């Protein structure tokens, strides 16, 4: 296990974990864009749970590699869905935000 892999995985887990907590807390910088994208507010707990599970899976993956791979794949798919949602809402300037969260998960897959 390389140092780069450990660092990227921990950074990714912290980023996605922060995003999950922000979603659970219904912070304005999360809720408002979700409304703008047309995501029902009732989905926020489920989306936050998916992010939290992904973050936990990345950390567990440091010890059980198969879990880490599964978590990273699921997070990449989650954030691809987020990009699609942003594109469907025609908020093209917001496309980088889900990509920033997806990057560490994708990189951890390759490391």
Tell me the pLDDT tens digit for each residue of 43-81.
999 999 999 999 999 999 999 999 999 999 999 999 999
Instruction: Say how many C-beta atoms besides its own lie within 10 A of residue 55's C-beta.
Output: 23
13-27 burial code (b ≥16 CB/10 A, e <16): bebbbebbebbbeee
Instruction: Say how many C-beta atoms besides its own lie within 10 A of residue 68's C-beta.
Output: 22
pLDDT of residue 38: 93
pLDDT of residue 9: 96
pLDDT of residue 104: 95
Sequence spans of domains, the chain: 3-110
């Amino acid at each position: 296990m390389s140092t780069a892999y450990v660092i990227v995985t921990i950074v990714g887990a912290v980023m996605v974990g922060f995003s999950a907590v922000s979603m659970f807390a219904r912070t304005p910088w999360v809720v408002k864009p979700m409304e703008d994208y047309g995501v029902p507010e009732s989905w926020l707990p489920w989306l936050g749970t998916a992010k939290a599970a992904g973050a936990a899976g990345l950390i567990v993956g440091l010890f059980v590699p198969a879990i880490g791979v599964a978590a990273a794949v699921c997070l990449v798919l989650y954030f691809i869905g987020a990009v699609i949602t942003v594109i469907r809402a025609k908020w093209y300037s917001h496309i980088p935000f889900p990509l920033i969260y997806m990057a560490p998960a994708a990189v951890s897959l390759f490391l």
